Amino acid sequence: MSAKKALGRGLGAIFEDVEDAYNQDLNNAQDLVRDIDVNRISPNPYQPRKYFNESAIKELSESIKKHGLLQPIIVVEKDNDYMLLAGERRFRATKKAGLETIRAIVADIESENLRELALIENIQREDLNPIELAIAYKELIEEYNITQEGLSEVVKKSRTQITNTLRLLSLTEKTQKLVVEGKLSQGHAKVVVGLDSNDEQTVVNTILGQKLSVRETEQLVKKIKNTEQKSDISKNKQIKETLEFTSLEKRLNSFGLKTKTKAHSITIEFENSESIDQFLEKIK
């Protein structure tokens, strides 16, 4: 049985409501599109997006000033005013542009679905950062008591993608904040998942301080995990040595040298005697 059928008119139906709202032929449904005073629109309290890139909002604001709003936002009527359902970035940018009204589709959607609609709209239409996306997945799974496989079928994302995204919630708050702010990529974050909090902090600091690639981070984490069975003193000593070797290897590579690391040794490959002389000059 598919996830949609298993959920009846629940989550699957809400997805259809979102699609219907976006797939309206605006030329044939002008009665649904209105120019609404921005001051009459309140934000959706269930909005999963917590972090907004202000420079991106400013760029969008300038575009709206120049070209107008190309895609209307979606609102629902509430207490003789309106509540935002979809398009918070567009709404914020329009207000930043100093415009008094905004084009909006007034959707006919039951109020009890607003929380789920906000989650789904962001999953489908906006670029949530990986942590916000993980939270949205988690809330939908808990709300509808479905498996990751069931959610995968409904949101049209692979189960692996959903699993890897959810695992980011096991990171410390400090590391999650770096992901939200875009200072740590999702690729790097996925690699450090599973480390204890101290090792996680050590690796994250090394990633940021030495600008490690994802592959270099994988190699570092692999070396650290190989020390997990050792005593704490031995482990800490080996981790320190590993970090020192990683730093040295990265510096040698920055010189354009080919290196190979094995255990506690680094082998440098020189093409000719001239490259040796150049290297010796650099380290004087």
CA atoms within 13 A on the CB side of 249: 21
> What CA dihedral angle connects 23, 26, 30 and 31, to 10 degrees?
0
Output the 3-class SS for 92-155: HHHHHCCCCEEEEEECCCCHHHHHHHHHHHHHHHCCCCHHHHHHHHHHHHHHHCCCHHHHHHHH
Task: Indicate which residue of 88, 132, 216, 249 is catalytic.
Answer: 88
- Measured in whole angstroms, the distance separating CA 278 from the mean position of its chain's CA atoms is 43
CA atoms within 13 A on the CB side of 183: 12
CA angle 152-168-43, nearest 5°? 75
Tell me the residue type at 65: K
Distance CA 40, CA 92 (A): 14
The single-letter DSSP state of residue 44 is: P
Active-site annotation holds for 142: no
Enzyme catalytic residues:
88
